[in-house]
Structure formats: C-alpha cells, structure tokens
Amino acid sequence: MLALTACSGITLPTPERPTGGETGAPAATEPADALPVELEAIREYWPLPDSADYRVPNLVGKKLPEARDALAEWDAFIKEYDASEEDRDIYMGGNWTVVSQAPLPGTPLREHERVEFYVLKNDEAAEAVATTLADDSHVGERVFSGTVTGFDGIQTLLVDSAEVRLDLVTPVHNSCGLDPTGNGASADYTADVSALVPVGTEVLAVRSDVRGDEGFLHIRTAEHPWPSPPLESVNEILVRSGWWMPHTSDFGGGFPPPSEGIVFSPFIENTNLTSVQAEYAPLIAQAGNTAVVGSVAGLGVCRSVAEQDAVAWAAAREETDRRIREVEAELQRRTEAGYYTCRDGDGDGVCYER
C-alpha cells in the first residue's frame, strides 16, 4: 500500500477516460434547443427476456395512425379510448393524438397481446401529452434522457418519474467520524445534489443494472446535449468536491484502521462490478484520490483525522514497546542475579531457603 503523510507528494495514475462504447449516446448534430426532446429522447433498452417478442415503444404524442403502424409488426391487439370525459367515438384516426398508453413504454410483450391507447383530438392533446411524458418511469431502459423532477433522500433523484440512485458514491459523513454540521461541512448533502442538478435540469441517465435503480447521471448542456457516458458524471463531480467519496463496498483502499506508515491507500475499484459500473469506477476512484491528496473539503478532514490517528497509534506503539523493553530488562537482571535458580539449603527440595 502507498503511505501518505501530511507532506507527501504523490503522483496518482490517471485512468483513460472512455468516450463511448456500448453505453455511448449518439453525438448531437444540432443545438439542444433544436432537438424534439419529448419524442426523440434516448431510449436504450436492456435485452428482452426470453418470454417476450418486443418492448412497447413510447407512442405518446404520436398521431393515432402512426401509433398503430408502430405496432403492426407484432400484430398487437389495439384498443383505443377517448381520454376525455365525453366518451366520444373515434373516427378519422388522423384527427386524434395518443396522450397515454398501457402498458407503459419499455414493457416486454408477446405478439398479439393487448395495447391500449388513450387519445384526444389533436388540438386538445398538448397539455395531456406533456403531463404523461413528465411521468415517464423509463421501464426497462438502461440509457435514457429526461428531466430532474425531484429528490428522494440524500442521493436518489427522480428523472421524469424514474428513480435514479447515484451509484458507487456516498456522502463523506459516513466515514471517519465527520460531523456534517461541523468542520465546515454541508449540513444537508441533498443540497449538494440539488445545487448541481436542480429540478428542471435535463440529464442523461445510465442505469448500472436492470434489477435496481442505481445509476449515473450526466448534465445535458448546449455544448453537450447528448453526453457520452462515462464523460463527467454527476457522481464523479460530487466526489471531486470532497464532500462525497467512493463507496467502500465497491472500492478497495481508502482510510484503513491506523497502522504503521499507512494513512491512506489510493481507492481502486473492486472486480465484482457490472460492466456499466466498471466504466465509471476508475474515474470515480481518481476523483476521490485527487481530493484526498489535495485535502479537499470533507475528504481533507478525513485525511487529517487519519494522520492524527496514525500519530497517536505510533505513540501508543512506542509506549508499548518501551514497557516490553523494561519487562525484558528486569527479567534479564533477575536471571543474571540467579533469582530464578533454586537454592535448596538443607536438601529437602524446597527452593530459596537460607
């Protein structure tokens, strides 16, 4: 392990930042405000289960004939309903727009299974379409774009209506006894996240695994409307701030219990990660290592605490060694003085008689 002291100068390895790969998003050819985000958002689905033939596409906002055509390949059993309270008959499909659907986009289905469209007249549909799109839970999607609509606890965000828990990272207050209300730390780690990605921010989300809500977020900007994972994730930015750190269950290294010469061992990713996590982990480890070496914010406090602990441990170890040396010296003195030699003065087998 690499020893770190208060005056150490350390050169840490810099991982090569991937620029795409299987989780990469397409590069933008137009400014972000020119993209029809509501209908063209990234939707990259996890592999289909063996029991399904396709995933239901998102057809909200489509004219009814276009929505029907989208499911023709799978010969879906389509039912259409007026979404208003008037229960109108639906004639001339081109005059109607899909405002919601069942099952949700991304749901795996077999051929011939039922799909329901709820429609309104074209000039009535705009508000209902916007409401439905904002309530998108992104079923089965591994990569998708959306808008931050809220927060649930310290590190879970709502992207549209899908929960995304920031993966591989944790607030620093979970380590080294840091009091989040002291040491200059933020008293509310949720504020760190909401300041970085406030409600209304357009983001690209990459899920770590289809079985959970953990993942990574990227902020969409005019310069990077379709950021390529794992470029500059929110997770990495938070760790670089020094108030967040790589999660100890996903990384080796960090601040070990006090031991001779070891204050901090550079974070290094574990091997039991998903393929998506493995792309992000080296960059998150690098962010944590850089923040520790630079004594940034909470990770700087952790480093200071670890250094103090190491000094205290060394002093305690020296005191223990001194006492051992004293005992050994006294033992040697008594041995040389014959203290432990049996003196049987009268031959009755009883030692130390005079």
- Enumerate the domain spans of the chain: 46-135, 138-302
How far apart are the C-alpha atoms of 347 and 345, rounded to whole Å?
A: 6
The reply to whether CATH 2.40.50.90 applies to domain 138-302 is yes
Q: pLDDT tens digits for 204-224?
A: 999 999 778 999 999 998 888
CA dihedral 246, 248, 252, 255 (to 10 degrees): 90
- Give me the residues paired with residue 252 across strands: 268
Q: pLDDT tens digits for 250-268?
A: 999 887 776 656 777 889 9
Q: pLDDT tens digits for 288-343?
A: 999 888 878 777 777 777 677 767 777 778 888 889 988 888 888 888 777 777 66
Q: What would the two tokens of residue 12 be?
A: 């840490």
CATH topology match: 46-135 vs 138-302: no
Q: pLDDT tens digits for 65-108?
A: 999 999 999 999 999 999 999 999 998 999 999 999 999 999 99
Q: How far is CA 160 from CA 34, 210, 234, in A?
A: 20, 17, 17
* Overall average pLDDT of the 164-173 stretch: 91
pLDDT value of position 24: 38
User: In the chain, what percentage of residues exceed pLDDT 70?
Assistant: 78
- pLDDT bracket for residue 123 (50, 70, 90): very high
* Model confidence at 11: pLDDT above 50: no
* Model confidence at 39: pLDDT above 70: no
Q: How far is CA 321 from CA 46, 253, 315, 317, 318, in A?
A: 60, 28, 10, 6, 5
How far apart are the C-alpha atoms of 196 and 122, rounded to whole Å?
A: 38
* Model confidence at 30: pLDDT above 90: no
The reply to whether CATH 3.40.640.10 applies to domain 46-135 is no
Lowest mean pLDDT among 126-130, 235-239, 323-327: 323-327
Tell me which of 128 and 134 has the higher pLDDT.
128
Residue tagged 């108030």 (tokens): 243
pLDDT value of position 322: 86
pLDDT value of position 185: 46
pLDDT value of position 255: 79
What pTM does this model have?
0.73
* Model confidence at 5: pLDDT above 60: no
Asked whether the beta carbons of 117 and 98 are under 8 A apart, the reply is yes
Closest CA to 169 of 236, 265, 229, 232: 236
CB atoms closer than 10 angstroms to residue 287 = 26
How far apart are the C-alpha atoms of 312 and 110, rounded to whole Å?
A: 66
Q: pLDDT tens digits for 135-164?
A: 888 999 999 999 999 999 889 999 999 999
pLDDT value of position 136: 87
Going by their DSSP bridges, the two strands 162-166 and 214-219 should be labelled as parallel
How far apart are the C-alpha atoms of 258 and 1, rounded to whole Å?
A: 13
Asked whether the beta carbons of 255 and 306 are under 8 A apart, the reply is yes
